[in-house]
Amino acid sequence: MNVTRNDNGHGPDADPRVTDLLRSHYAAPQDETYWNGLEERVMLGVTRGIVRINELRPAWWSGFGEFRTADIRNAGLIAATISLLVAGATYVRKAELDATSRALAQRAAVESALPLPLEDATLTSRARLRLPDDAPERYLHPLDY
């Protein structure tokens, strides 16, 4: 077991007797049955470890089982409140959009019924005025009065 690739514990500052004592103290078991047993124990540990990992790594849906009833109720209430708020906001927004598009449609309908405006033309009202018979306008524009 001693793979000596360095100074073999006999460098200038090493005491060979202390090195020998250390080697004796730390000598690994020589019995082959010990190593066979250790190998079996290691593999048993590996197998148990795998089983434990599989137990610790449950299916994704099993997490729901850990919820308590109170947790579920609270989560449900929060979700319902949020849904109501979202639905309300959506309804109001949609109503606003509908009103705007109705107004636009009405305006478009009215505008499409009017004649096209003439270029450089000025529309004026021609209400006839009741002028006295001797009013000077009657002499200037006799056809208008």
Interface residue list for another protein (CB under 8 A): 1-6, 8-9, 11, 13-15, 17-19, 21-30, 35, 38-39, 41-43, 45-47, 49-50, 53
Residue 30 or 125: the one with the smaller Cβ distance to another protein is 30
Quick check: 10 and 16 in contact, CB under 8 A?
yes
What DSSP state is assigned to residue 61?
Answer: G
The minimum distance between CB 34 and another protein, in angstroms, equals: 9
Residue 58 or 88: the one with the smaller Cβ distance to another protein is 58
Buried b (16+ CB within 10 A) or exposed e, 70-83: eeeeeeeeeeeeee
The minimum distance between CB 41 and another protein, in angstroms, equals: 6
Quick check: 7 and 14 in contact, CB under 8 A?
yes
Quick check: 110 and 104 in contact, CB under 8 A?
no
What DSSP state is assigned to residue 124?
Answer: -
The minimum distance between CB 43 and another protein, in angstroms, equals: 5
The minimum distance between CB 59 and another protein, in angstroms, equals: 20
Residue 28 or 140: the one with the smaller Cβ distance to another protein is 28
SS3 call for 31: coil
Residue 24 or 122: the one with the smaller Cβ distance to another protein is 24
The minimum distance between CB 13 and another protein, in angstroms, equals: 5
Quick check: 127 and 141 in contact, CB under 8 A?
no
Residue 22 or 97: the one with the smaller Cβ distance to another protein is 22
